Amino acid sequence: MVQITINESRILGTRDKMIYGHFIEHFHRQIYDGIYDPNSPLSDQDGFRTDIIEAMRKIQVPILRWPGGCFVSSYHWKDAVGEDRKPFFDKAWRVEDPNTFGTDEFIKLCEKIGSEPYICTNAGTGTAEEMSDWVEYCNLENEGQYAKWRIKNGHQEPFNVKYWSIGNENYGSWEIGAKSAEEWGRLVLESAKMMKHVDPQVELSAAALPDVDWNLNLLKHCGEFLDWISIHEYWDMVPEVNDLADYEASIAFTQNIDHAVTEVRGLLQAMKLDKKIKIAFDEWNLRSWHHPNVHTIKQGIDKKDYIDPRDKNDDNSQYTMADAVFTASFLNAMNRNCDIVGMANFAPILNTRGCIYSHDEGIVLRSTYHVFDLYVNYLGDTIIDSWSSEVPSMTVQNKSGKELELESLDILATKWSDQNGVALAVVNKDPDNNQTITVSMVGNGNKVTLYGINGESKNSFNDVDQNEVVIYKEALDDFENNMEIEVKPHSVNIIQML
């Protein structure tokens, strides 16, 4: 039994809702034959799938990052606005993109789901001028050819896109137009300068990673222009071989899950930029996308070797309670780091490894979708202090076969800034055993309700013809000090005391 003591009066921070953000890229079926499918009977007059829109609204997507991802590093936005759309060969993913979904369509998508748009620019084959032209198109009222072009395209009012990222993973050899640290600092400086000259109110991030040399060079050159520093991480790396980590190996990845935040935080503090620049963890997921024979020196020749394997991402049986428990553990960590992490974007929101899967006749809400539903709709926005007695440990084998010992419970205490009450996020990583917590805090009589997901087994999943992982609700007794609450194995729980 674990004793949890909560101190409501000790506030650790207020999380920004943008840590529950998402990402969508021109990869496989995320855009075309995904959210944007004008030929589908399920789509509205603008070509958007209404069932997907409804699912996105339910989890209140606060910010949506687009168009990439690796895709953006050979993407030229001007070819995808106006009437004269020019298809192009996407050198990142080696497919033709029709360019029928571009900036105007992305803004319309964000309007439909009530999301803040977050545009990632081409810092691979693009230029600082091209990036600043994009800001002109989106944000200037009527000055210059690009604002006038937007008006001509039927959008009199500016889009007022606040959040912009300069580049995507430009440190990586796999990225089109990869840069050295020195090249990167110079390009970001000139790009940021021009973008801020167009609209001084935009907030800019730039591609980075937990690497001292890369970040030092970036921040020395560009720190005064940046509002964010962008980091990415996928833990179960399966780009070439789709050998997914099992439940226990996936849970092993939760050990030190926020290491990248810790490392980047330290650098920002050392450079006295931690009060100016926040971390945007703007691409993350437990499992990397499967796309063999593309980001390799020796490329696939036959499409069955490099295009067809991407369909393996659509196997819904892969997205079990392992994915849900990992996702909840990550979100707990980001909540705890809310003073420095202001944004995070689950990658992607749809298809591939997304929390929503679409098919011709409808959608499937994968286990990770319900984690976002729980955290967005049932958890508080203010992080409060709590401490616990010793948490039972568990031993798991990581993907390399090494045994690791880690705590079986991950507990986060919150309250609301606009109402009374407390909500606990309790993640039970143990695949087999219930856990009992005893909650101690000031006050009695509040109604206690548990909202949770766990499925019948650690390998439960949802698919077109089955729905094993859903949110269940348990009305518990009114709160009394030292109240005992039991949580199920392999479960994610929000316990409200209102």
Residues carrying an active site annotation: 169, 283
**Placement of tokens 């024979």 in the chain:** 293
111: Cβ–Cβ under 8 A, 6 or more apart, which residues?
Answer: none
Q: How far is CA 150 from the centre of its chain?
A: 29
Both tokens assigned to 294: 């593309």
355: Cβ–Cβ under 8 A, 6 or more apart, which residues?
Answer: 59, 346, 349, 365, 366, 368, 369, 371, 372
For residues 229 and 277, the answer to whether their CB atoms sit within 8 Å is yes
CA–CA distance, 177 with 180 (Å, rounded to integer): 10
270: Cβ–Cβ under 8 A, 6 or more apart, which residues?
Answer: none
Sign of the four-CA dihedral 259, 264, 267, 269? negative
CB neighbourhood size of 52 (10 A): 26
For residues 481 and 440, the answer to whether their CB atoms sit within 8 Å is yes
Both tokens assigned to 454: 């766990």
For residues 362 and 51, the answer to whether their CB atoms sit within 8 Å is yes
3-state secondary structure of 453: strand
Closest by alpha carbon to 22, among 50, 55, 61?
61
222: Cβ–Cβ under 8 A, 6 or more apart, which residues?
Answer: 185, 188, 189, 192, 206
Closest by alpha carbon to 198, among 128, 151, 123?
128
CA–CA distance, 197 with 128 (Å, rounded to integer): 12
Q: Tell me, what amino acid is at 179?
A: K
Q: Tell me, what amino acid is at 137?
A: Y
For residues 131 and 194, the answer to whether their CB atoms sit within 8 Å is yes
Closest by alpha carbon to 462, among 339, 334, 369?
369
Closest by alpha carbon to 217, among 246, 244, 196, 187?
187
